Amino acid sequence: MDEPLDGPPRLPGYSLRQLLYFVTAAESGTLSEAAARLHISQSAVSLAISELERALKVQLCVRRKAHGITLTPAGKQSLREMRALLRQAEDLASDVSGTHQGLSGRLSVGCYVTLAPTVLPPLLQGFSALHPALTIDFEEGTGDHLQRRLLGGDLDVAVLYDTDVLPEMDRALLSTMRPHILLPAGHPLADQPVVALHDLAAEPMVLLDAPPSSHHTLLLCRSAGVTPTVRHRTGNFEMARALVGRGLGYAILVQRPANDRTYEGLPVVHKEIAELPEATVSVLLCWPRQVARTRRAAEFVRFCLRTRPADEPIAR
């Protein structure tokens, strides 16, 4: 049972509407764009922000006609808390109105760029089917970018590899995958069930350079006692596969699409790494530890854990 308040609560000097107008302006970058999104006048947005600043006794942003708005340090610091308050208010409205059986509002999900095509679609489809009134936004990006977005309050939850995850994150295990070597189908070692990195050390490597993939790949090579000859770097997963398919190098990847052909139709093969037969990579659901999760985010995490896939088999 919740503890009663010691005395009557003190009403804040600001309103949720003012918070909404400021958050929308901060996300839009200009007052005019915020006004268009809110379907109100630009002067109404400007007045609400001014009243909010007076209530909080701090300047939240600098407004310039030709340059939009720029958040002050206080504005940046307050933005995350304001987003959290708005989401909690939305949860309260949903609970009190009796719609708690079906979620509504907006859920923002991030996903590491190479995981997104295979991990996100079934999760979005399944969760949307359970909660058709809920709007789910998703964003793809690198691990460091998505974690900044989580800490900034832009995302509720993100799917990340368990590499370079910040200590500020809470996490839950979604699945486990195995790293593998990707070779063109015509490579001399393509018929071998297992391939040693030492046998590829002198050959060019195609490095997937999307943090934390590049760090993880080079760490695997060091663990195997190999210094790779990196010839090509790309932040695009399919570009890495395309370069391998054309025989321009080998790659070490974790995610494995169902189709073992590149966009150009060139065949590629997946091989277990001889030096690292037990190597695995965990896929996590992450959210900021210091920010209370909304009910939408908590339900999404529970849904993902109930429907999480089996561990990926060894690539051969």
> In this structure, is residue 234 part of a structural domain?
yes
- The average confidence (pLDDT) of the chain is 87
Chain CA centroid to CA 215, Å: 18
- Using the Cα atoms of residue 183, residue 189, residue 190 and residue 194 in order, give the sign of their dihedral: negative
Q: Are residues 199 and 248 in the same domain?
A: yes
Least confident of 19-23, 85-89, 161-165, 214-218: 85-89
Answer for the pair 88, 43: CB distance below 8 angstroms, yes or no.
Answer: no
Residue with more model confidence, 84 or 297: 297
Collect all residues with Cβ–Cβ distance below 8 Å to 170 and sequence separation of at least 6. Answer: 286, 287, 288, 289
Predicted local distance difference test score (pLDDT) of residue 101: 56
Q: In whole angstroms, what is the distance from residue 101 CA to residue 133 CA? A: 11
Predicted local distance difference test score (pLDDT) of residue 225: 93
- pLDDT confidence band for 1 (50 / 70 / 90): very low
Least confident of 4-8, 72-76, 101-105: 4-8
Q: Which residue's structure tokens are 């909010």?
A: 52
Give tens-digit pLDDT for 117-128. Answer: 889 999 999 999
Average pLDDT on 283-309 reads: 88
**Total of domains in the chain:** 3
Above 70 in pLDDT, residue 238? yes
Which 3 state secondary structure label does DSSP give 44?
A: helix
Which 3 state secondary structure label does DSSP give 234?
A: strand
Using the 8-state DSSP alphabet, how is residue 292 labeled?
P
Q: Are residues 58 and 118 in the same domain?
A: no
- For residue 145, the enclosing domain spans 102-175+282-306
Predicted local distance difference test score (pLDDT) of residue 8: 62
Bridge partners of residue 108, in order along the sequence: 137
- Could you give the angle at which helices 31-38 and 16-28 cross, rounded to 10 degrees? 120
Give tens-digit pLDDT for 160-190. Answer: 999 899 999 999 999 999 999 999 999 999 9
Residue with more model confidence, 312 or 76: 76
∠ CA 119-120-121, nearest 5°, is 105
How would you class 155 by CB atoms within 10 Å of its CB: exposed for 0-12, middle for 13-18, buried for 19 or more? buried
Bridge partners of residue 160, in order along the sequence: 284
Q: In whole angstroms, what is the distance from residue 235 CA to residue 209 CA? A: 5
Q: Are residues 188 and 240 in the same domain?
A: yes
Predicted local distance difference test score (pLDDT) of residue 314: 40
Collect all residues with Cβ–Cβ distance below 8 Å to 299 and sequence separation of at least 6. Answer: 103, 131
Above 60 in pLDDT, residue 208? yes
> In this structure, is residue 97 part of a structural domain?
no
Q: What is the CATH number of the domain that holds 232?
A: 3.40.190.10
Give tens-digit pLDDT for 37-78. Answer: 899 999 999 999 999 999 999 999 998 876 789 989 888 888
Q: Are residues 139 and 199 in the same domain?
A: no
